[in-house]
Amino acid sequence: MFDELRDSLRAISSRLDPDERRRMGSGMREAMVHAKLAIADMRAALVATEQRLAAEQTELDTVKRRQGYAADIGDQETVAIAERFVAQHAERVAMLESKRMVQQQELLLAEREYEAMSADLRKVISGVAPDANGPDAAAAREVDALLADDAVALGDGLDASPAPSRRTRAEREADADARLADLKRKLGR
């Protein structure tokens, strides 16, 4: 009997008011659109890596076959050259296999996060607040702080000025694009 009462009180306390529900729902929908686009980009990158891997594997097989032909006719100079190319292609194949594995893991993680965001959005739409102490809520607060351009809210102390400067959405997006380009350049994409 008391458990039912406690559950009812918890349900009431975790309900969102309509304004908060609209605000959270709107932000979550926008985040999900960006996440879905990022997942599509990850899938495209994975397909490109798999195509490069298949091409490199074909080249490796071709070089090995040529090396065998050269060995059969006793052409040691061609065998030595082929050995060098076999090593190069084998190294590229190994690197692309590792890259494919990392991209697959990254895609799986992004898809799980997208599903979690989708579940949270369904909760918000139904009027129930998502878990305020969970890791997803902490990530949401971090994103909100970034969108608000308030580094102090993040707790990183990068911007200790009393009134952080407000940037336009275009400036924030340009900054984000520049950071993404820098990260891609560092990762070699």
Tokens at residue 143, please? Answer: 């994103």
Residue 110 structural domain:
2-130
Q: What is the pLDDT of residues 44-59, one digit of tens each?
A: 999 999 999 999 999 9
Mean pLDDT of the chain: 77
Residue 163 and residue 97 in one domain: no
Buried b (16+ CB within 10 A) or exposed e, 97-135: eebbeebeeebeebeeebeebeebbebbeeeebbeeeee
pLDDT of amino acid 16: 59
Residue 67 and residue 115 in one domain: yes
Tell me: pLDDT of 155 over 80: no
What is the C-alpha to C-alpha distance for residues 86 and 56, in angstroms, rounded to an integer?
Answer: 11
State the pLDDT confidence band at 7, using cuts at 50, 70 and 90: low
What is the C-alpha to C-alpha distance for residues 135 and 156, in angstroms, rounded to an integer?
Answer: 18
pLDDT of amino acid 177: 79
**pTM (global) more than 0.85:** no
CATH number at residue 108: 1.10.287
Domain count for the chain, please give it. Answer: 2
pLDDT of amino acid 169: 72
Give 23's contacts (C-beta < 8 A, 6+ positions apart): none
Residue 57 and residue 99 in one domain: yes
Q: What is the pLDDT of residues 71-82, one digit of tens each?
A: 999 999 999 999
Across residues 122-146, what is the average pLDDT? Answer: 62
What is the C-alpha to C-alpha distance for residues 31 and 35, in angstroms, rounded to an integer?
Answer: 6
Lowest mean pLDDT among 32-46, 68-82, 111-125: 111-125
Residue 139 lies in a domain: no
Residue 80 and residue 171 in one domain: no
- The residue from 82, 97, 130 where one domain ends is 130
Residue 6 and residue 72 in one domain: yes
